[in-house]
Amino acid sequence: MAVGPERKVSIIPIEGIRLAAAKSHIRYANRLDLVLVEIAEGSTTAGVFTQNAFCAAPVRIARERVKNTASRYFLINTGNANAGTGAEGELAAVACCDGLAEIAQISSRQVVPFSTGVIGEQLPFEKILVALPMLYEALSADSWQSAAQGILTTDTRPKLASTSFTANGSQANISGFAKGSGMIRPNMATLLAYVFADAQIETPLLENFLDSAVNNSFNRITVDGDTSTNDCCMLVATGKGSLVITEADSEAARQFQSELNAVFEQLATDLIRDAEGASKFITIEVNEGASEQECLAVAYTVAESPLVKTAFFASDPNWGRILAAIGRAGLSDLDIESVTVALGDTLLVSKGAVDAEYSERAGQSEMDKDEVRVQINLGRGKARTRVWTSDLSSEYVRINADYRS
């Protein structure tokens, strides 16, 4: 179940990137579960990773390798998170990298591992080693769809985004794919996301582009308030195109950031549309805050309230639940008579109570929609923010109750 039709994306191949996906039977038979991305020599790479203290073995390895070594391959498996696996888990991840390095004739440190799936089970790395030769031979510049399919777990459809634009007279292309349906309040990025550009950008500037793009996309989504042990978001610039960006305050940099933000936002919102058990795509806008931080506190308190989320699932305009969530968000000296709450174009609350013009029929009309917008004005300042979330359905409970079966 997902909200809205699946987008048909025409992916623009990125020069310097080849991809492949294979069935290695890590957890399930006849399912793509192993993905390889080849990155051209001379590319620059930036990454952000989960802040969960129990981060997975591949996260620890990837974080160090991306920082200190020029990445040539991303090796991604699903079905097993390789998290909570101790020293044995790290040895398994390194063994997979060593196996690929031998095939590709490169240093093992140039292979960056990623995993997603069940936590607490040892990675069956022997299955990955067996599949690696075939996976390597299958590398192709056009395998974006199969790569996006191969990183999915409980997702019902792949998520891809692509754009082409001109800056300073030079054409540039950005393409990427992501996965994630549950255990999402990333606190850095999302479960797994990989975005590639053909521009030439040095690492420090690329890291700035990534941080900004993540902050307003993957760091503005939540399904259930849980931060995964395996979250990773990677940005690669191959330098194979004609666009060269050297100054952060240049017009080319601003245009690149804008296009990158659009790709990240598309991927992030696609994740929420395909959240586990989702029947609603919900945008929560908080305006007139004293700071962005307090706007975020309100937005996430509303977005992650089980009572609010179940009301959305029932299409019940129970606005009292939204009001209660705002009130417990921790804002000091909140003047409740300055707060307004609206569903779409329907004003629910003003002057601390139900608006005089509100009708249950109007509220019901808004709640019956698949896409719902909640607008909260705090009346405290000029700060604003936006968060995307989903409803909490019985299907979400079923998926997570049966996750290991």
The predicted-structure confidence for 78-129, as pLDDT tens digits, reads as follows 999 999 999 999 999 999 999 999 999 999 999 999 999 999 999 999 999 9
| Residue 176 β-bridge partners | 161, 195
| pLDDT recorded at residue 343 | 97
Whether pLDDT at 347 is above 80: yes
Whether pLDDT at 405 is above 60: no
**Residue 250, C-beta contacts closer than 8 angstroms, at least 6 positions apart:** none
Whether pLDDT at 189 is above 70: no
- What is the chain's mean pLDDT, rounded? 94
pLDDT tens digit sequence for 118-153: 999 999 999 999 999 999 999 999 999 999 999 998
pLDDT tens digit sequence for 303-334: 999 999 999 999 999 999 999 999 999 999 99
Whether pLDDT at 233 is above 60: yes
First to last CA, the chain: 19
| pLDDT recorded at residue 188 | 66
| pLDDT recorded at residue 190 | 58
The confidence band for 255, taking pLDDT boundaries of 50, 70 and 90, is very high
CATH number of this structure's domain 281-401, picked from the four choices 3.40.50.12780, 3.40.50.300, 3.10.20.340, 3.50.50.60: 3.10.20.340
Percent of the chain with pLDDT over 70: 98
- The set of catalytic residues is 190
Residue 399 or 268, more confident: 268
In angstroms, the Cα distances linking 127 to 60, 95, 108, 124 are 22, 12, 19, 6
Indicate the Cα dihedral angle 104, 109, 112, 117, nearest 10°: 100
| pLDDT recorded at residue 386 | 97
pLDDT tens digit sequence for 17-27: 999 999 999 99
pTM for the model: 0.94
Residue 402 or 299, more confident: 299
Contact 346, 318 (CB under 8 A): no
pLDDT (mean) for 39-64: 95
The confidence band for 198, taking pLDDT boundaries of 50, 70 and 90, is very high
What whole-number distance in Å separates Cα of residue 369 and Cα of residue 390?
A: 13
Among residues 303, 295, 349, 296, the alpha carbon closest in space to that of 325 is found at 303
Fold of 17-273: L-amino peptidase D-ALA esterase/amidase (3.60.70)
| pLDDT recorded at residue 181 | 78
Question: What's the half-sphere exposure (Cβ side, CA atoms, 13 Å) at 92?
Answer: 25
| pLDDT recorded at residue 32 | 97
The confidence band for 277, taking pLDDT boundaries of 50, 70 and 90, is confident
What whole-number distance in Å separates Cα of residue 253 and Cα of residue 257?
A: 6
Hey, what amino acid is at 216? Answer: N
What whole-number distance in Å separates Cα of residue 177 and Cα of residue 349?
A: 39
Whether pLDDT at 226 is above 80: yes
What whole-number distance in Å separates Cα of residue 188 and Cα of residue 52?
A: 10
pLDDT (mean) for 227-231: 89
- Position of tokens 């929560």? 284
| pLDDT recorded at residue 384 | 97
| pLDDT recorded at residue 402 | 77
| pLDDT recorded at residue 404 | 67
The domains of the chain are located at 17-273, 281-401
Region of 118 (left: φ > 0; alpha: ψ -120 to 50; beta: rest) is: beta
Residue 244 or 153, more confident: 244
Cα torsion 179, 298, 339, 287: sign: negative
